[in-house]
Structure 1
């Protein structure tokens, strides 16, 4: 039968091939083709994806060249910096906030404080948001550490935050209680509430533990209509110009109903693109003297 004959021939060929394996080595597989580092647009898009996934440790490693990252790791261990947390507003208050959220009885204490000061106080909260917005803009305008494009971007963010705060249901206790529970639980899981916990954990491990807390904060804001993940998902990065190892792209996204449009400058080092402002801040933090 043709099928039987075909099967027999195939079996003999297989046996011959197996026997030949003992005498002749199979040709070595071709080495993988090198993957070119991402260009300036792709580099920014990658940073956005890392933030959306709460991969703070990955973000930090990709945000600066390896040699600078090693310097920042050493500075972190020596308590000279908490970069990249220093990129956040009020970064010096983060350890205290984590400690307050993680301490025993925090849920009960924070719920009581909320009921006493904020529950139902819509007018007072709206006024407080306006005051904080004005103070924030003054700080951004006077802070010497910001670059021109960075300052313009932060001013847009401050405007979006202020606009959102005027209409957000911040006085609604039904939302506040689960938000408190979520933040307290996430803070405790970081295991970074102790006075030397971040130093002892080191840069990489601290950021890895903070990732889920960062995600919980974003989720709480999203419940109130300030959806950072949606903004990151819908962000668009477009090339503007490139001259040698310098490039500029444009980042556009919508945050809390407000369109944000900002240029970003990048620099290429050893074939990879990095945000210029991030590099400048990281270098300052790496060289920061001991307290």
Structure 2
């Protein structure tokens, strides 16, 4: 996947349902295309539509909701062009095939649990001793980086710091070594791998854009389910999102986005701009424009032959 496409997808997801071969079906819970397009015609509706696509694991629709048609076409072309730019090593191919075979075997859950169960008590003792220090150090490092980031406003720094606190508190209290929860997580991971249904790395790299977005959606939904097992409900966070347009003119708007992350109320203001008849994040578009205007990397000239 190209660097640009990965950046766009990550940004869209922060702010992936399967796509069948030859036909795409809307995932359960996703708004109908016409309704989503109508909602995106208002600044707050654009935010809400993106949230709904993310919750449903519809990554292609999510990207279309945050990117104007020309930028979406570029991102899609980048995927097709760059997916196989560098050949996969035989080691990577062997590791991928081994992992997928292990996760999708008929007795995968039992074998993985047999491997994990003897280690849980040791892991539990280690985490009880080390987790508080690790969380404190991690929070301190991340929060220091946030304060030193000159691209963030003071309001954005405050929100990011509060989010780090909420996540740190969750990590400190989540029962990662609970046997019953571990077994539930193993089942979710194995079920997700079976739904993704890829046996080799060559198969993965040969996917069309539409097929790959469907697989990403399956993986995202599986991740949501695993996090929910340990008390972090992404759906609960997404359901709490409320978007309110606080200022609006013909081509620019400011939207206040309020939400709850692990019972911590947060809010942020986002600037949107109108392109055509739809609204998109101003910061996202400016970032893409800078990337497009950046000079392309020049390949080093081949070394001159030496004479004997």
Task: Calculate the TM-score normalised by the size of structure 2.
Answer: 0.65
Matched, 1:229 2:226: no
SS of the residue 1:119 aligns to: helix
Q: 2:303 — aligned with what?
A: none
CA distance in 2 between counterparts of 1:248 and 1:100 reads: 48
Structure 1 residue 179, shift from structure 2 partner: 0.7
Q: Give the conservation status (yes or no) of the 8 Å contact 1:56–1:211.
A: yes
Matched, 1:134 2:140: yes
Q: Which runs of 5+ in 2 are unaligned?
A: 1-36, 85-91, 300-308
Q: 2:263 — aligned with what?
A: 257
SS of the residue 2:206 aligns to: helix
Q: 1:74 — aligned with what?
A: 77
Q: 2:192 — aligned with what?
A: 186
CA distance in 2 between counterparts of 1:155 and 1:101 reads: 40
CA distance in 1 between counterparts of 2:292 and 2:197 reads: 25
CA distance in 2 between counterparts of 1:101 and 1:140 reads: 39
Evaluate the alpha carbon distance shift between residue 125 and residue 61 of structure 1 in structure 2; reply closer, same or farther with a 3 A threshold.
same
Structure 1 residue 40, shift from structure 2 partner: 0.2
Q: 1:211 — aligned with what?
A: 217
Q: Which structure exhibits the higher relative contact order, with contacts defined as CA atoms closer than 8 Å and separated by 6 or more residues?
A: 1
Matched, 1:173 2:205: no
Matched, 1:58 2:64: no
Evaluate the alpha carbon distance shift between residue 266 and residue 61 of structure 1 in structure 2; reply closer, same or farther with a 3 A threshold.
same
Evaluate the alpha carbon distance shift between residue 163 and residue 151 of structure 1 in structure 2; reply closer, same or farther with a 3 A threshold.
same
Evaluate the alpha carbon distance shift between residue 236 and residue 101 of structure 1 in structure 2; reply closer, same or farther with a 3 A threshold.
farther
CA distance in 1 between counterparts of 2:121 and 2:194 reads: 24
CA distance in 1 between counterparts of 2:63 and 2:55 reads: 14
Matched, 1:49 2:56: no
Q: 1:104 — aligned with what?
A: 101
**Offset from partner CA, 1:110-144 (integer Å, 9 cap, x none):** 72696376334333233333333333334445567
Evaluate the alpha carbon distance shift between residue 80 and residue 154 of structure 1 in structure 2; reply closer, same or farther with a 3 A threshold.
farther
Evaluate the alpha carbon distance shift between residue 114 and residue 138 of structure 1 in structure 2; reply closer, same or farther with a 3 A threshold.
farther
- Give aligned pairs, total: 243
SS of the residue 2:101 aligns to: coil
Structure 1 residue 61, shift from structure 2 partner: 1.5
SS of the residue 1:261 aligns to: strand
Structure 1 residue 52, shift from structure 2 partner: 1.3
CA distance in 2 between counterparts of 1:57 and 1:100 reads: 26
SS of the residue 2:214 aligns to: helix
Which deviates further from its counterpart, 163-172 or 68-77?
163-172
CA-based RMSD: 3.7
Q: Give the conservation status (yes or no) of the 8 Å contact 2:228–2:234.
A: yes
Evaluate the alpha carbon distance shift between residue 35 and residue 165 of structure 1 in structure 2; reply closer, same or farther with a 3 A threshold.
closer
1:267 equivalent among 264, 269, 273: 273
Task: Calculate the TM-score normalised by the size of structure 1.
Answer: 0.69
Q: 1:84 — aligned with what?
A: none
2:244 equivalent among 238, 253, 266: 238
Q: Give the conservation status (yes or no) of the 8 Å contact 2:97–2:201.
A: no
CA distance in 2 between counterparts of 1:117 and 1:282 reads: 47
SS of the residue 2:124 aligns to: coil
Q: Give the conservation status (yes or no) of the 8 Å contact 2:246–2:254.
A: yes
CA distance in 1 between counterparts of 2:199 and 2:165 reads: 32
